Amino acid sequence: MMSEPVSVQAAPDELAQGPSRGQAVTAPLASNGQGTPLVEASGLTKYFPIRPSLLARMLVRQQEKTVRAVDGVDLAIHSGETVGLVGESGCGKTTLGRMLTMLHTPTAGEIRFQGNPLVGQQVTVIGDDGRPRKVPYYHLTQIVFQNPYSSLNPRKTVREILSVPLRARGLKTTGEIEAEVQFLVERVGLNPRHVDRYPHQFSGGQRQRIGIARALAMRPRFIVADEPVSSLDVSIQAQVINLLEELQAEYNLTYLFIAHDLSVIYHISDRVAVMYLGHIVEEGTTDDLFATPHHPYTQALLAAVPVVEKSARRNRILLQGGVPSPIDPPPGCPFHPRCFAKKGSICEEQLPPFFQVGNQRVACWLYDDQPVSPTAASGDSERL
């Protein structure tokens, strides 16, 4: 077990050039009157090294490259809320979710839980008795994966799958474990008589319910739901989303809900963060952001949503080109090669900080007449 804080520094040449966004996204969240966030990421960064094969290195002298999957994200999520995370494929949503559950170790940045930094895989929390105690982070945070087909061990029965986290939670006797397995299976809407079945004996929706039960078994406080319904039929999607909402109310769960489908995000999220090429580019409450998207990328994203009612349709915004490679991201604003509203050379040269536009935070130079969002590090966030 590591004993150092999960606050790791990237080598200076690895870190993005230009002004840092600091803890800008953190600030508005502190402004919603809910006090200390449950989970808070500051400057969270994940770079994946890509090593070329020995042959490629010898013959064409190919160098090691770096995928900048997540590049300095600040995000704060308060107890009991659901933050929706949207963005095109490959923009870093899963990597961010995995870092927040420590399935990926960050290259740089810090994660805090209830204001306390992670030390190794442990964090100090205040117990029911009011005393601080150290607990493994995975007791507090869990993940529900996109693909219920591949995220469950095909060789284990439901009972075995659920017993693993229950033992890790400290349940010891067979009786205790069995009672909890029965409770969980029933709670997620499965037949308790099917606990000796294997994952392949269930439908996709049922398998996702097993995945949810497995996450719930640890009695976590925070769950990253990474596209939990995208591989399911629409009717089943609704059932699984309803289940997640019921469980949230019952157990005061906090969600980071990752999805491509904006209608799902609109339905389930209290707030939405929009991600592009490893950066969060806009953040606000769901109603504000859907009503008045400010960042050109958010505008394009929302304009692409099919709307049946003619009067409610937005003009389509067709973005030119594809998402740039995270191996060689553009300097300045990450969106500038595709931006239809580019302000000028500043867009190509400097990473925009977050500007406060109404209740939203927008990382775009178009709003540089608005105040820059103060960083949490400056202590200003408490004033907002």
Ligand X SMILES: Nc1ncnc2c1ncn2[C@@H]1O[C@H](COP(=O)(O)OP(=O)(O)OP(=O)(O)O)[C@@H](O)[C@H]1O
Site for ligand SF4, rule CB under 6 A = 295-296, 333, 335-336, 339, 341-343, 347, 352, 364-366
Site string for ligand X, 88-127 (x = CB under 6 A): -xxxxxxx--------------------------------
Q: How far is the CB of 47 from ligand X (least distance, A)?
A: 9
Question: Is the CB of 50 or the CB of 179 nearer to ligand X?
Answer: 50
Residue 339 C-beta: closest distance to ligand SF4, Å: 3
Amino acid in position 6 = V
- Subset of residues 308 to 367 that bind ligand X, contact rule: CB under 6 A: 326
In angstroms, rounded to a whole number, what is the distance separating the alpha carbons of residues 354 and 20? 10
Provide, rounded to whole angstroms, the least separation between the CB of residue 85 and ligand X.
Answer: 9
C-beta of 7 vs 147, nearer to Mg ion:
147
- Based on CB atoms, which residue is closest to ligand X, 78 or 104? 104
Q: Is residue 69 involved in binding ligand X (CB under 6 A)?
A: yes
Q: Which residues have C-beta within 8 Å of that of residue 186, sequence separation ≥ 6?
A: 192
Residue 247 CB neighbours (<10 A): 19
CB 64 to ligand X: min, Å? 12
3-state secondary structure of 19: coil
* Residue given tokens 């500043």 in the structure block: 346
Per-residue tokens: 12: 């200076």
The phi-psi region of residue 298 (left if phi > 0; otherwise alpha if psi is between -120 and 50; otherwise beta) is alpha
Distance of CA 219 to the CA centre of its chain: 19
Query: Of ligand X, ligand SF4, Mg ion, none, which one does residue 374 interact with (CB within 5 to 8 Å by kind)?
Result: none
Q: By CB under 5 A, name the one of 94, 107, 142, 298 that touches Mg ion.
A: 94
352 binds, among ligand X, ligand SF4, Mg ion, none (CB under 5 to 8 A by kind): ligand SF4
Region near Mg ion per CB under 5 A, out of 24-32, 41-49, 91-99, 150-158: 91-99
User: What is the residue type of 91?
Assistant: C
Rounded CA-CA distance 95/73 in Å is 11
- CA separation for the pair 68, 7 (Å, rounded): 18
